[in-house]
Amino acid sequence: MRYMVIARDGTDPEAKARRLAVRPAHLERVAPFVERGRVLIGGAILDDAGDMVGSVLLTDFSDREEVEAWIADDPYVTGGVWKQIEVLDFRPAVGAWLPDG
């Protein structure tokens, strides 16, 4: 199943610093999931100033429980970066880049 994950950072004054501090661990942890085809694409949500304020990921996991367990162990969650997370069923239909299947 494919899932879209929309994760928004906290809005407190320390939110930006928290994200930057945890970002290397987050990227290190996500790399093997990209290699195994579990994370199809991911990136930051930006505010008007170009600062990172959240993330969007398109994922491919066997079921919702698996993707939610994966999210729960992410450094952005354990490090207090992501404060609001939404997991949505997703089916790609069109686009310049479209995963197989």
Write out pLDDT tens, residues 7-44. 999 999 999 999 999 999 999 999 999 999 999 999 99
Tokens matching residue 74: 């992410």
User: Residue 51: what residue type?
Assistant: D
The verdict on residue 46 lying in a domain is yes
The verdict on residue 101 lying in a domain is no
Sign of CA dihedral 91, 43, 7, 38: positive
pLDDT at 55: 98
Domain holding 66, by residue range, is 2-89
The verdict on residue 97 lying in a domain is no
Whether the CB-CB separation of 77 and 25 falls below 8 Å is answered with: no
Q: Cα–Cα distance between 11 and 77 in angstroms, integer? A: 15
The verdict on residue 57 lying in a domain is yes
pLDDT at 10: 97
Number of domains in the chain: 1
Whether the CB-CB separation of 87 and 63 falls below 8 Å is answered with: no
The verdict on residue 99 lying in a domain is no
The verdict on residue 85 lying in a domain is yes
The values of phi and psi at residue 3, to 5°, are: -135, 145
The verdict on residue 94 lying in a domain is no
Tokens matching residue 62: 């066997």
The verdict on residue 98 lying in a domain is no
In sequence order, which ranges of the chain are alpha helices (DSSP H)? 15-35, 64-72, 75-78
CATH number at residue 61: 3.30.70.1060
